Each structure stands twice: as C-alpha cells, then as structure tokens.
Amino acid sequence: MPNSAAIAFAVFDEPINDYKGFCVSRLIHDFYELDPAKTGFYGGGGLDARFDWTPIGFAGGALPPSALPPGTPRWGKEFKQALHHNFTRTLEIFCHGSSLPVETNSFSLDPNVKDAWGLPALRMTYRDHPNDLKMMEWMRDRALEILDAAGARTKWANPVEEQQLAVHLLGTCRMGNDPKTSVINPDHRAHDLPNLFLCDGSSLVTSGRGQPTMTIEALAFRAADRITALAKRGDLSS
C-alpha cells in the first residue's frame, strides 16, 4: 500500500515565496475522519500545502502539464517568462489518504526479468481500489475550494488516475505471532530468518490516513530496543 494521492495547484497575484522554509508549510486534518454514509467512500486523510520544487525541478516537472497552468507554452520565451513569474507565486496542495489493503497488491520475484547478477528482479503488483480513487477526487475538490477561498488568480488539478509511481511503500510483511499469517513477530524479527529484523513500514497492515514517516521512525526505535534486549540475553544467532 502507498498513500493515495491527488494534487491541486494555484497561482496567486503576489509572490508568496512558498519555496522558502519548510517543504510542507501548512497541514489540514479536517478530513481525517469522514462519514462513509455521507461521502460514499471509506477513509480520510489530510491536505498539506507545499512547494517542494527546486527551480530546475519546477522547469522539468512543468514539461508534462502539471506545475504550470493548462495552456502555458512549454518552450521558448513565453515558457521561460511563465517559469520566472510563477515560481514565487505557485502553491501546491497535496492530498494524501487511505489506501485500502488489497490482497492482489503484492511484491514478488519476476519470472522473466533478471537483475545485473542474473537473479530474479523484484516485481511490484499494484492497482488502486475504486474507493481510493473516489476519495482522492473528493479530497482534490476540497483542495480546489481552499485555493479558491485563498484568492488564487488561477487554479487547476491533475486528473485523479491509478498511480504509476508510489512513495511510502507499506505493508506485505505483517507483524504477528502466527508464522502462517505474518512475516515478523512482535520483536520485528522474521519468523523464518532469526537474525532478520524489519524496521520499516512493511509491517503496517494499513496505510493509515496520513504520512507514515513518524510511525516508521517509532517502529525503528522500538525495533532497536528489542534487538538490544535480545543481544544482551544472547538470543541472537551467531
């Protein structure tokens, strides 16, 4: 599971210089808990105002229609003028939320593709659940409403589509006591490989409704304490 995602952009009349300071300057959790009876979908999430573009990234990322308003020239003098004008005036709202755990989404060894050492390459199989897409469409519309209320001169959003690029990869290595239904035990230790400890987001059984970094950090600290305790007891394999 990754986090579901949608993005909305706006350009303002005056410079807002959102490229300065923290990458994420504002965060809204008003939609963290939503009523499926009212929305027609399960889940929720957050909206964060960000501008995580460098100048070169802003120019390169604008080549496919995204960070520049639709209809902006993508080459020549007018393109450079748009980059110069919009860089300090653009605000991005990133929508992130639940990604339902679906059994068909998985990691496996590719039966055909090999890596540089002739070993089977890692293959990710993933498809967004229709619920995730419906939720992101709803969140995107809220982001556009916020940008409109903030006085944006122009605003737009990329279409909500099935993700082809995923960040915050989570799941596939559930934590539990039963080796038949989990990969690691409560000490973060793999059932089948005693000296293997997983300290990332793979033990999460849901993507949650927010960015998972702090949860992963907490799990890593917890795993370190467990590994230290096991080592002191002599319970690590030599």
Residue pointed to by tokens 């559930």? 174
The tally of domains found in the chain comes to 2
168 is catalytic: yes
Query: pTM of the entire structure?
Result: 0.85
Residue 55: band (very low, low, confident or very high) from pLDDT cuts 50, 70, 90: confident
Domain hosting residue 22, numbered range: 4-157
Is position 162 within any domain? no
45 with 137, same domain: the answer is: yes
Tokens encoding 93: 């709202």
pLDDT for residue 22: 80
pLDDT value at 64 more than 60: no
Q: Which of 84, 168, 188, 191 is catalytic?
A: 168
In terms of domains, do 112 and 12 share one?
Answer: yes
As a whole number, mean pLDDT of residues 71-85 equals 91
125 in the same domain as 201: no
Across the range 117-136, mean pLDDT stands at 94
Under the banding of pLDDT at 50, 70 and 90, the label for residue 21 is confident
- Are 28 and 144 in the same domain? yes
Residues 113, 179 within the same domain: no
The 10 Å CB-count burial string (b at 16+, else e) for 65-100 is eebbbeebeeeeeebeebbeebbebbbbbbbbbbbb
